[in-house]
A and B are shown apart, each in its own frame.
Chain A
Amino acid sequence: MTRNRVTIAGGIVLGLGAILAGVSLARGQSAAGDTSKQTASDTAHAADTTGPVRWTFPGTAMSGAGYSDISHARPNGPWPTLPGRLKGPVQPIFYRHDIHAGQYKIPCLYCHNNAANSWTANIPSVQTCIGCHLVISAADTAGKPYPDIAKLRGYNDSAQSIPWARVYKISEHAHFPHMRHVNAGVPCQTCHGNVQQLARVFPVNDVNNMGFCTDCHMKRGVTRDCTACHF
């Protein structure tokens, strides 16, 4: 029975330790927690997850899983070849940023126009898409429009919204003014990565990691006041 007593006592001690450790792991608050998360998520992108200083300018080729190579993509040329492995949530329509933003160099703000004048960057309405795709159908030889464009037109005909899967989500307790950053000339890629190379968008950066924000704010010498974002 003495044995039992020892194990009970030991159990209590370990239990306490376990809870504390568990908390810090679960909340991912400690520096260790964050790095482990990122490396765990995808080692190939350690480069652009280590912080905003390393963001790459539009057009600069990124390689690795999820990135398609657009270096040779020309308007009206062949579409960029899909990367070996697609990452990120599957979308109702296979909208390819690497074609729109990469190959055809459509500016981000053409569709996400509210990013320039509002706190939130909008997801374009079906109307916006159909503006072009009323005529552009990327039809095959039989004249049948490319299946995803057909889907899009379907949504348009039934005046339905497209339930896009959400990729980036900032916690409710942080308020991110897109317009301030866009007007300050911060490229979208700083946070969202080289979207123009993504056939399917995946969270390149952990935008909920506050270090990701403060790091950049420190480097640029802009405000670090807490109530700039938290209220």
Chain B
Amino acid sequence: MKRRKFLQVAGVAGAGVAAASCGPQDVPDHWVPYASTPEDITPGIPTWYASTCKECPAGCGILVKTREGRPIKIEGNPRHPVNRGKLCARGQAALQGLYDPDRVTQPMKRTGTAWAAITWDQAETEVATALGAAASAGADRVALLTGAGSGPLDRITDAFTTAFKSKHRLRYEAFAYEPIREANRLTFGMASLPNYDFGAAKYVLSFGADFLETWISPTSNQIGFAAAHSPHAGGMAKYVAVETRRGNTAYSADEWIAPKPGTEHLVALAIANSVAKGVKNHVGDVDALRGFLAPFDSHTVSGQSGVPAEVIDRIATEFAAASPSLAVGPGVAHQTASATQLAVAVNILNVVAGNIGKTVSFPAASVWDHVGSFKDLSDLLAAMGAGTVDVALVHGANPAYSYPGTGFAEAFAKVKLKVSLSSYLDETASLCDLILPDHHALESWDIVEPMTGVSGTVQPAIRPIHSSKQSFDVLVALAQKAGKSIAPAGVTTAREMVAKTAGAGLAAQLQHGGAFTTTAARPVRLARDYSKLAFTPASFTGAADGLVLLATPSPMLYDGRGANKPWLNEIPDPAAKITWQTWAEIHPETAARLGLANGDIVKVTAPNGQTIRPAVYVYPGVRRDVVAIPIGRGHKQYGRFAANHGSNPFHLLAPLTDSSGALVYCQARVSVTREGGNYPLATTEGSSRQMGRGISRLVPIGELTPSHSEERGEDLTEPERNAIGAVELSQGKRRDIGVYEQPHAKWEMTIDLSKCTGCGACVAACHAENNIPTVGPEQVIRSREMSWIRIERYFEGDTSGTDWQVAQIPMLCQQCSNAPCEPVCPVYAAYHTPDGLNGQIYNRCVGTRYCANNCPYKVRYFNFWDYGSSIAPMYAFPGPLVLQLNPDVTVRTKGVMEKCTFCVQRIRFAQNDARVRGIDLTDGAVTTACAQTCPSGAIVFGNAHETGSAVNKSKRADANRAYTVFEQLNTKPGITYLSRVVHAGTREA
């Protein structure tokens, strides 16, 4: 072959291979600078906007990090009293709601099943005329259905319905805590939700409240709880969970008590009773209660609930002794027919233990005061069904998904003009005739008041991506077009309304994220109205041999609104560790009885005949007579990430209400039968037991002596100690290879397992910061999930009973000084940086995967597909989702290994910044994304070469429970874990 010929071949072949190798680089071949330079944007430097999270009614303050005008990350606002700089996974995932590729991009009109685009003017005119007609046709022919709202803008929407002579103004939340509000009305005379001060409580007694997941204000709860429930000078609070299913919240419990379903309120009263007995000196309220409590003595209740009398009495003594203590409940999943009774019992517990005003205090007003009950929704539906409603506007609520059974669609169809003000085509929107898309919270203006004294401002962090319009403006415009005026003079938009409300303080409020004042709690007096309630075990529909159905709120998807966000689908459920699917938790013994194994598809049939087909997850954390199914999936609509994943337990429920008008979530005994067929669970769980390998360690508080670390001494066996000694001797000076001296930093981390609750906020933060792709269920089944930080969950003890513990541990790259991954990389893609990190150079990696084989912690993740290439089949950032990517972090191509590097981009950014300013990098000036967001403050990051640094302090302070994982391998990890301390349940007594 001639040489020229050869070269041609070479060229062609080379081109071919090159083309195969590099994905498309979405690089503009043009610089398009600003026409006029904006003051607040420096290309390459992030700009932060203070705002308020609207993913749930808790109203946490957030700081939105934007680059070149697009939000790329959300962090908590340190000045905000609710969440104090922390943020949960749902709050951070708001970004993916903003960039959802399936958002409604413009006003749409439905003809049959087809949607056609129309202009805003057409849409508003059509609705306005309909509204006018409805108003003139008579009273109450217009309905406005929204989610929980608060603040001046929300109040104006009340004027909207009045303007059209209607009283159908309903703020609907699937999780509305009616029983607690009702119970507070009955016992304290105010139908409101109090603030629970978990931080001050020395003893937490929870009756099914998932207060670390979805319950009222989880982030704020977690901040307080973690502080109180981890060892500190004042000892350590004890947490006892009384519930039929042990969820993620109860993983932190020192003791789990599982009474018969529907008897929780009796247990609570029995405890209150024996507490009251213990109260010798005469306290007015307590004396008033003695008579009422008398019938609920521990032995009778023990018979009804199956909880041993001595346990009841012991809990009572502990509860009374530890003052102030705190009783909470019920949680949404445990809303039985006697939910209100349980809430009352919980109040009584707090009264007899004297917690009112200490750990339970009532703000002057709360966002929950205006939220309607499930009964209100049913009434509105009845009105709709009767055809007396002509125009219905729905905003920020998806009742078509969360209303039990199929009742909603039928009644809703009777409405002449159904208008959705949603940004997404969810189940409710798809039933409507018109969609007038709302701005996302990150595009809109608002003032949120979760409680008196906290007024958080919401400001846009990005120009509207689509041709959407904020619902407030729409309502004002509609009223105007219909000849009504609802807003104050001169106000036509939300922005003007915010400006008008804030007045002179606007600038300050926008900078600080709101105006925060401390207000006195409302005084509380004991009412006696609760005695009218019947305190008997709750009844259940369905055959007696069925399993009691628990529809559990999902800590990731909340009431289903999170299902359109890939992160929340892929971050494993903190309890079941399953992604993208809907599963049915069944106790091992029950599963054996029914002949079921993990992944078996079962047919769950409710008394009302409805069925769903989830896969079985055999789980020791539920009672033998209970089956738990998570809420949140099984959407028919709501975008590509939500639709047709899993199944929806709401279908199994009947619209029953308890005495407070709440939906009875825990109402039915269902039949669970094997359907045949099996699909592998998309779980991240390999083994649920750690085989005594000391990965996540528990230490009973009794054994936690100052010299505990020496006494436990199980870290190294004799041969291991000798071997390591010999190695170090032979290594001589090279022993410290990988540990560079000053001025180099040595980045290290401590993780306090006593604080970690396994909530998964850190995982979300890592996804946002590091452009981690979501891979979908099929790949998770192959355990190819890419999350750089994972939370492992091991069961400790005999799980056949209730006396077992859960050992959780966030596992991320340990940044070993003596790393096994580094020497085996043939191309130095894995290498040791001078500041003690295990660097990973993506563009150098050829993908031998040897490093991952050799990593004992298994924290290296391989790009099996081209997740970053828009033409690849597994593209992870379709549509606008790509705008969320952090420009400081390379998007990895296929075939390279990736892993946690302690957010090296944040470190380098801070170092460069400090150098340019000519200042030293102080401790705390740089932290990792996970440490920044951890609501428990379990993760501490810093420079181990600074003696005074926080990471060194925390290591010294808790030296007695500090340990490193797999110490016998002599990898010298940069992460030090602090054992979790437990009040070891009954064993302690």
Residues of A within 8 A of B (CB): 10, 14-15, 18-19, 21-27, 114, 117-120, 122-128, 155-156, 159-166, 169, 171-175, 177-180, 183, 225-228, 230-231
B33 partner residues in chain A, CB cutoff 8 A: 122-126, 161-162, 164
CB pair A114 B43 closer than 8 Å: yes
Q: Select the residue from B33, B841, B904 with max chain A CB neighbours within 10 A.
A: B33
User: In this assembly, does B121 line the interface, its C-beta being within 8 Å of a C-beta of chain A?
Assistant: no
How many angstroms between the C-alpha atoms of A114 and B27 in the bound complex? 21
User: In the bound complex, how far is the Cα of B20 from the Cα of A23, in angstroms?
Assistant: 11
Q: B448: shortest Cβ distance to chain A, in Å?
A: 34
Which residue of chain A is the closest to B831 with respect to CB atoms? A226
Contact of B30 among A18, A124, A128, A165 (CB under 8 A): A165
Q: Max chain A CB contacts within 10 Å: which of B42, B44, B904, B912? A: B44
Question: Do A22 and B9 touch across chains, with their CB atoms under 8 A apart?
Answer: yes
A126 and chain B: residue at smallest CB distance: B35
- Chain A residues within 8 Å of B912, by CB: 119, 177, 179-180
| B contact residues around A162 at 8 Å (CB) | 32-33
**Which residues of chain A have C-beta atoms less than 8 A from B839's C-beta?**
225-227
Q: Of B14, B25, B28, B36, which contacts A21 at CB under 8 A?
A: B14
Please tell me which one of the listed residues B37, B43, B890, B916 contacts residue A230 in the complex, with CB atoms under 8 A apart. Answer: B890
Chain B 463-489: CB-based contact to A (< 8 A → 1; otherwise 0): 000000000000000000000000000
Q: Which of B30, B843, B905 is the one whose CB lies under 8 Å from A166?
A: B30
- Check B842–A163 contact: CB distance below 8 A: no
Interface residues of B in 879-895 (CB under 8 A from A): 888-891
Q: Using A119-B44, A159-B35, A227-B904 as known contacts, say yes or no to A169 and B17 having CB atoms under 8 A apart.
A: no
Docked complex Cα distance between A177 and B42 (Å): 14
Could you tell me if B831 and A166 are in contact, using CB atoms closer than 8 angstroms? no
B195 contacts the other chain (Cβ, under 8 Å)?
Answer: no
Q: Does B834 contact A (CB under 8 A)?
A: yes
Q: Which chain B residues border A18 with CB–CB below 8 Å?
A: 6, 9-10, 13
| Residue from the set B28, B45, B891 with the largest chain A CB neighbour count within 10 Å | B45
Chain B: which residue is nearest A155 at the CB level? Answer: B35
CB–CB B14/A226 < 8 A? no
Question: Is the pair A172, B891 in contact by a Cβ cutoff of 8 Å?
Answer: yes
Taken residue by residue from 830 to 866, chain B's Cβ proximity to chain A (1 for < 8 Å, 0 otherwise) reads as: 0101100101011110000000000000000000000
Given A231-B901, A231-B908, decide whether A22 and B35 contact each other with a Cβ distance below 8 A: no
With both chains docked as a complex, state the minimum distance between the C-beta of A230 and any C-beta of chain B, in angstroms: 5
Contacts of B834 in A (CB 8 A): 225
From known contacts A117-B916, A179-B912, A231-B908, infer whether A127 and B31 are also in contact, taking CB-CB under 8 Å: no
Give the residues in chain A near B888, CB-CB below 8 Å: 175, 231
Most chain-A Cβ atoms within 10 A of its Cβ — which of B17, B35, B36, B904? B35
Q: Is B29 an interface residue (CB 8 A)?
A: yes
The CA of A178 and the CA of B44, in the complex, are separated in Å by 10
Q: Is A22 a contact partner of B31 (Cβ separation < 8 A)?
A: no
For B39-54 the 0/1 string (1 means CB < 8 A from A) is 0001111000000000
Chain B, Cβ-Cβ closest to A10: B1
Distance of A186 Cα from B15 Cα, bound (Å) = 37
Q: How far is the CA of A164 from the CA of B891 in the complex (A)?
A: 26
Number of interface residues, chain B, beta carbon within 8 A: 50
User: B13 to chain A: which residues have CB within 8 Å?
Assistant: 15, 18-19, 21-23
Contact of A25 with B10 at beta-carbon distance under 8 Å, contacts A171-B843, A172-B25, A227-B839 already known = yes
Which residues of the other chain, A, contact B843 by a CB distance below 8 angstroms? 171, 173-174, 230
A14 touches B915 (CB 8 A): no
**CB-CB < 8 A to A117: which residues of B?**
42, 45, 916
**Complex: A162 Cα to B32 Cα, angstroms:** 6
Chain B residues closer than 8 Å to A24, beta-carbon distance: 14
CB pair B904 A231 closer than 8 Å: yes
Contacts A25-B14, A126-B34 known; 4 new A-B pairs at CB < 8 A: A125-B33, A159-B36, A169-B27, A230-B841
- Bound CA span A180–B35, Å: 27
Interchain CA distance A119-B831 in the complex, whole Å = 25
Kindly list chain B residues whose C-beta atoms are within 8 Å of the C-beta of A171: 843
Task: Please report the C-alpha to C-alpha distance between residue A22 and residue B19 in the assembled complex, in whole angstroms.
Answer: 12
The residue from A22, A114, A180 contacting B11, defined by CB atoms under 8 A apart: A22
A173 engages B45 (CB within 8 Å): no
Taking A118-B44, A173-B843, A179-B912 as contacts, is the C-beta distance between A22 and B833 under 8 angstroms? no
- With A18-B13, A22-B12, A180-B915 as given contacts, are A161 and B841 in contact (CB-CB < 8 Å)? no
Give bound CA distance, A220 to B358, whole Å: 64
| CB <8 Å contact, B10 and A22 | yes
Q: Kindly provide the distance from the CB of A201 to the nearest chain B CB, expressed in whole angstroms.
A: 12
Q: Mark B813-834, 1 if CB is under 8 A from A, else 0.
A: 0000000000000001001011
A162 to chain B, nearest CB (A): 7
B891 partner residues in chain A, CB cutoff 8 A: 172
Chain B, Cβ-Cβ closest to A169: B27
A230 in contact with B18 (CB, 8 Å): no
Q: Are B29 and A25 closer than 8 Å at their CB atoms?
A: no
CA distance A119 to B913 in the complex (A): 10
The CA of A125 and the CA of B32, in the complex, are separated in Å by 9
- Is the Cβ of A123 less than 8 Å from the Cβ of B31? yes
Contact B842 A230 (CB under 8 A): yes
Interchain CB contact under 8 A, A19 and B36: no
- State in angstroms the CA–CA spacing of A211 and B100 once bound together: 41
Least Cβ–Cβ distance between B958 and chain A, in angstroms: 30
> Which residue in A15, A118, A231 is a CB contact (below 8 Å) of B42?
A118
**In contact, A15 and B9 (Cβ under 8 angstroms):** yes
Shortest Cβ gap from A26 to chain B (Å): 3
Q: Digit string of B897-908 for contact with A (CB within 8 Å is 1, else 0)?
A: 000010011001
For A26, A117, A124, A128, which residue has the most chain B Cβ atoms within 10 angstroms? A26
> Which residues of B have CB within 8 Å of A27?
14, 18, 21
**Closest chain B CB from A20 CB (angstroms):** 9
Which residue of A is nearest B45, CB measured? A118
Q: A26-B14, A173-B842, A231-B904 are in contact. Are A125 and B9 (CB under 8 A)?
A: no
CA distance A14 to B843 in the complex (A): 29
Alpha-carbon distance between A15 and B6 when the two chains are bound, in angstroms: 9
